[in-house]
Amino acid sequence: MRTRFDEQLNTLGQELIRMGALCEEVISMAASALIQKDDALAAKIAPLDQKIDEKERQIESMCLRLLLQQQPVARDLRQISAALKMITDMERIGDQAEDIAEILPFLNDRTLPEHIKIREMAEAAIKMVTDSVDAYVKQDTAIAKGVIASDDIVDDYFIDIKSSLISLIAQKPAEGEYALDLLMVAKYFERIGDHATNIAEWVLFSVTGEKSAQPPAD
């Protein structure tokens, strides 16, 4: 019975990896669509978000079956509970990538230095998502803590970008709407970093039973 349960836990981990990979792909696609000014690429994000939503439902069902059909010990229970929380954050990552895609057509063909900063910010956020899922699969608290620490990097990017865009609005009021759209894109990437941090904190919970005190991302 325990062997079967361990196999199902392993399958759960593999499905989380797949969902994490979809999240990485959708964030990368959003960043590329921004930099390349590619509306066709941006249009592919919504269908990918739907795949993430579907994966969330599949993993949720898997977790509930494990809870109902098996008798998990304390650590197993924490691992399954953490997975249920993690997929909520992953689903929101997909939603926010889609939110970014909806803004991109309004940015027209203009390119400012902030685009490059946002690309770097997106790369940092993608790494956070990748590492947070890796931490869960490996049950590695060191990786999880590294993700939590990396959130400061993404936050610093957002502060820098926000400051630059505020200066742009002050100097060129006609660019206000454009700057605000770009600021929203940066904000969504910042929120993605927050969700990756949440995932890492649930990893800590699954391993240690303790979770870093930090308000969850919306």
Task: Encode burial over 88-113: b for 16+ CB neighbours within 10 A, e otherwise.
Answer: bbbbbbbbbbbbbbebbeebeeeebe
| Mean predicted lDDT score pLDDT of the chain | 88
Instruction: Look at residue 216 and tell me if it is in a domain.
Output: no
Query: 90 with 49: CB under 8 angstroms?
Result: no
pLDDT for the residue 211: 67
Q: In sequence order, what are the residues at sequence separation of 6 or more whose Cβ sits closer than 8 angstroms to the Cβ of residue 123?
A: 31
pLDDT in tens, 39-93: 899 999 999 999 999 999 999 999 998 888 777 788 888 889 889 999 999 999 9
pLDDT on residue 4: 81
Tell me what pLDDT residue 157 has: 95
Could you give the count of Cα atoms lying within 13 Å of 195 in the half-sphere of its Cβ? 28
Record the tokens describing residue 156, joined without a space. Answer: 């610093």
pLDDT of residue 217: 53
pLDDT tens-digit readout, 87-120: 999 999 999 999 999 998 888 666 666 777 888 9
- Whether 22 is covered by a domain: the verdict is yes
| More reliable by pLDDT, 125 or 2 | 125
pLDDT digits (tens, 9 = 90+) for 193-204: 999 999 999 999
Residue 114 falls within a domain, yes or no?
yes
In the chain, % of residues over pLDDT 90: 55
Number of domains in the chain: 1
Q: Quick check: 34 pLDDT over 90?
A: no
In a domain, 70, yes or no: yes
Domain with 191, as residue range(s), is: 2-208
Q: Residue 193 is part of a domain; what is its CATH number? A: 1.20.58.220
In a domain, 213, yes or no: no
